[in-house]
Each structure stands twice: as C-alpha cells, then as structure tokens.
Structure 1
C-alpha cells in the first residue's frame, strides 16, 4: 500500500509499505479521507515525540471490509488504570495515540481496535467524518468551561481548532467572539456565525485559547471577567506568559484541555451532522508530501487539508 511516512525532521515521503493485517479485536479500514493536524506540522520539525519512521495521521474516515462507513477515535486507553476507572480515559497513564504510538491514517489502509470505530450516518460525507476528531477536542474544551446561561465566549485563533471551537461554542451561546490576525480566516469565522475581530476588547466569561502562544495565554487571562475561566487547548508555546497575581486577586481560572473523553467524541459525531464543516480543502494522496511541505513553510490559504488516498 502507499503511505506518507515521517522519515526525518521536517520530512515526509510517499512510500510503498506492506499492508497491515488486523490482529484479534482489530479491524482494517480503507482510508477515504485523512486530515493533516497542526500538531503534526509542529511535531515533524523534531524527532523527540514522534519517532521516525512513522505513518502519522489520526483524523480519518473510511470503510471496513464488511462495508461499514466509519470514523475512528484515535485515543486508545487501557481502561484499567486509576484515570480510566474514574472516567478520565483521555488522561490514561498508558494511553496510545494513532499516528504517534502506532501507524496512523496517512496510508491507504490503517488497522485500529474495533472498540475505537464509530459508524457514521449514510448522509455524512467522509470529509465531514474526518473532522469529527478535531471537533471532539472542541467539545471537550467547551465542556470544561461549563457554560451556563448565555455566556460571553471568546475564542483566540481561527485555525482548525479555533473554528470548530467556535461552532461548539455557538451551541451554548449567541455571544461568541473569535479573534485572529488573518482576514481570510476571520471571514470564514464570520460566515460560521461568530463575531470576528483582530483584537479582543472588553471582558468575557469564558476564553478558549486555540493558539497556545505566550502572548495569547496572556490575552486569555487579561480579558477574563473576575471569576471567569480560560481554557487552553493550543500547544504553540511552553511558556505561561500571564500575571499570576491577577489570577489570585480576581479568582480567575486557567484550565488545560487535552483531547476528549469517549462521550465527547460521540457528541462530536452528532454535532458534525448539523454544523458547517465545508471550509476544508481536499488534496490527492499523491501530493501529500508536497502539501505537508507547503504547510510547514506557512501556506495560509488552507485551514484544514484533507488527503484522499
């Protein structure tokens, strides 16, 4: 089969590999669409977390040998550690992630545990189904914020995670503002129903940072009302960047959001059927290495690239 392989820092290559065979309890999926995640663009610049040679890809949709149209929860938990037993399987001490710890979906075929497979509706396109995974991240982040009433919500960043967070936030409030410096992305955010701005002003009950830079960390805290909550989902910087005394004096809360619970993934699959996810761009699998390189070099006219083997 053909596969897009992370071979060394900042390099992915199209290669021919042996087709994987499922073990008991696993299923082979013929991939129809797979998304390039921002975490993969960051990850391939180094070899400390994702270890080459590696077939990446954790956002996918495809078909099984028995004809099911499916997507996959790529977060694989042990179901036996203390975190799993308390219902936080996304924080499993033994977790594995498709495309990081085992071969992923940048291939014509991927093998996954049967328990990770979710059947999609006949009315749902494979391109939409491949977006369920990023949407699940947004479901989890918004859930952590515990929106009540009609809260003033701000989303920082109008990339993929920012836009899906906007869509989920709009399920809870009609007062959702999204900020970015890219006018093209702001235009899409506005079309999706958000109040699109280049700079956040005023104050908000909830701020979700979908960028994760030191500067956006600071902004997320600065524009919070006293007692408000900031949820950090972006991973761009390791530096916090905010005033710790402001957290104390105004009882502001900062929460990290990582992946999602299975219930979040199931909810994302349901939400995907009614929100607008038509801002993706599809590319043939053969051009995957080229598209990866262009995105690494900063190509901005593509928010979410989907590869079609």
Structure 2
C-alpha cells in the first residue's frame, strides 16, 4: 500500500507500507481525499506532538468496503470521563487523534473505529468531503463566540481555517466580516468568497476576532482590535507565546477563548454546510505528488491555500 510518511524532521516520503490491520469494531476506509493541515506542516518542520515514522492525515474521506461514502471524525476520546460526560470529547484528557497517535489518511487505506464514520449526503462531492474537518473547526469557533447574528467580525489569517471562519460567520448572519493576511493572492480569494474587506491588517474595532494564525503578534492584534466586552477566539497554533496586553484584557473586560477541534454537533453541521460553498480555493493532487506539495507549503509557500491528496 502506498502512503506518504513523515520519516524525519522536515522529511516526507512516499513509501510502500503494510496493509492496515482492521481490529475489532474497526472499518477499512479506502481514502479518496485527504487534506494537508497547517498543524501538520508545523509538526513535520518542528517535531514534538507528532513522532516519526508516522502516516499523518486527520482530514479525510473515502469509501468503506461495503460502498458507503464516509468522512472520518478523527478524534478518539475515552467516552467515560467527566469531560466526555459533558459532551466535550474534543478536550478529553485521554483523547487520541487519527493521523497523530495512529496511522491516518495520507495513504490508500486506513483502519478506523466504526464510530468515527459519518455517511456523506447524496451528491456531496469529494472536494467538499475532504474539507469537512477544517470547516468543523470554524463552526465550533463560531459557536464558542456565541454565533452572534449582526456582529462585526475580524479574522486574522486567510489560510484554510481563516477562510472557513470567514465563510461560517457570513453564513451565520454577521453584519460585516473583514479578514487580514499578508498574501495578496489569499486576500483576493477571501474577497471573492464574500469578505466585506480583505486587508493586510485589521483596522477598527470588532465584536469578535478569530485568530487563525496563533503567533504572539496575532494574539496581541486580536485583543487590540476588540471592542470593550468583545471576544477573541484563538484557533491558530503557530506559537505558544501569549503576547497580549493583560491590562487591556482586564480594563476592557475582553474575553479570550481557546478553540480546539470541534464537538460532534459541529462536525455534523459542517457536513451539511460545506456542500453549499465555493471551493475553487481547494486544489487536488495525486498522493504521488504529496511530498513535493507538502514540502513547498512547509517551507513557506502560500499556494495552494488548501491541498487535498487523492490516493
């Protein structure tokens, strides 16, 4: 079986790997589309959370042996702890993630627990199926912000997660959505997809700011651009440094919320939502080109905004 394997810091290789062993309660998925995530780019360049050798890929969809078209929710939780009992499987202390703690979707086939599968609606294309997982992140972030109809929303970063946050906010009834990115091409895409303004840097004040980058500087900017009483939702993981003005946080009674992954309802909502979107910003590549595409993005490339690999 062909698979794209993280073999060493900064190195991705296409290799022949053993066929997956399908355990009790598991299903074999023949992967049709698997997205490259920014967290994977960072994880290969600076290993730590992900340990080589590893078949990554936590954003994927495919077919089961019985012909079902499915998308995989890669979060595996214990299901019995206090946090899981609250419906917060995404932050279970014992959670594991397909493509991080066990082989993922950068392969022709992968074995996953039956409970991770969601059957795709009739007619949903594979490009849409391949980005359900990142869109679920944006749905979750919008929910954490309170799904505020009529809000002025700022988004920092016009990568896949930032564009998803922008489109979820527009669909959710925000009155104005502005997005910031240093890349001219990404700003052009954001404007085409419905941003009311696509800027090099956010200006003015917002009710909600989504930080889809996660650097110390963007943390600072997300708070600086909030109105008093506003909420910043941090999704990006570029740096662990906080970088913000704590006095401003207190005096402005501003809030910062961390947003990790999604709850089951967010994932289900993403499946229904993504079929309506313009996905012209998503590009598809054969698995055989995966190492080249991955390395280009890992080393700072801004195109494509979102790459799907197709075994």
- Alpha carbons 1:156, 1:208 under 8 Å: kept: yes
* Residue in structure 2 matched with residue 61 of structure 1 by the alignment: 61
Match among 289, 292, 296 for residue 291 of structure 2: 289
Name structure 2 gaps, 5 residues minimum.
none
* Residue in structure 2 matched with residue 189 of structure 1 by the alignment: 190
Counterparts of 2:95 and 2:194, CA distance in 1: 36
Counterparts of 1:205 and 1:286, CA distance in 2: 44
- Alpha carbons 1:3, 1:17 under 8 Å: kept: yes
* Residue in structure 2 matched with residue 212 of structure 1 by the alignment: 214
- Alpha carbons 1:61, 1:127 under 8 Å: kept: no
Tell me, what secondary structure is at the counterpart of 1:54? coil
Higher mean alpha-carbon deviation, 161-170 vs 276-285, is at 276-285
Deviations 1:16-73 (A, max 9, x none): 1111131121100000111110000000123321111100001111100000011100
* Residue in structure 1 matched with residue 23 of structure 2 by the alignment: 23
Tell me, what secondary structure is at the counterpart of 2:187? helix
1:205 CA drift (Å): 0.4
TM-score w.r.t. structure 1 length?
0.98
1:232 CA drift (Å): 0.4
Name structure 1 gaps, 5 residues minimum.
none
Higher mean alpha-carbon deviation, 105-114 vs 172-181, is at 172-181
Instruction: Provide the alpha-carbon RMSD of the alignment.
Output: 1.0
1:295 CA drift (Å): 1.3
* Residue in structure 1 matched with residue 231 of structure 2 by the alignment: 229
Distance 1:149 1:45, change over 3 A: closer
- Alpha carbons 1:131, 1:277 under 8 Å: kept: no
Matches within 5 A, 1:47-196: 47-172=47-172, 173-194=174-195, 195-196=197-198
1:113 CA drift (Å): 0.6
Tell me, what secondary structure is at the counterpart of 2:110? strand
- Alpha carbons 2:149, 2:175 under 8 Å: kept: no
1:253 CA drift (Å): 0.3
Higher mean alpha-carbon deviation, 41-50 vs 245-254, is at 41-50
Counterparts of 2:262 and 2:228, CA distance in 1: 27
Tell me, what secondary structure is at the counterpart of 1:12? strand
Match among 298, 305, 308 for residue 306 of structure 1: 308
Counterparts of 1:149 and 1:167, CA distance in 2: 14
- Alpha carbons 1:160, 1:304 under 8 Å: kept: yes
Q: How many residues align?
A: 309
TM-score w.r.t. structure 2 length?
0.97
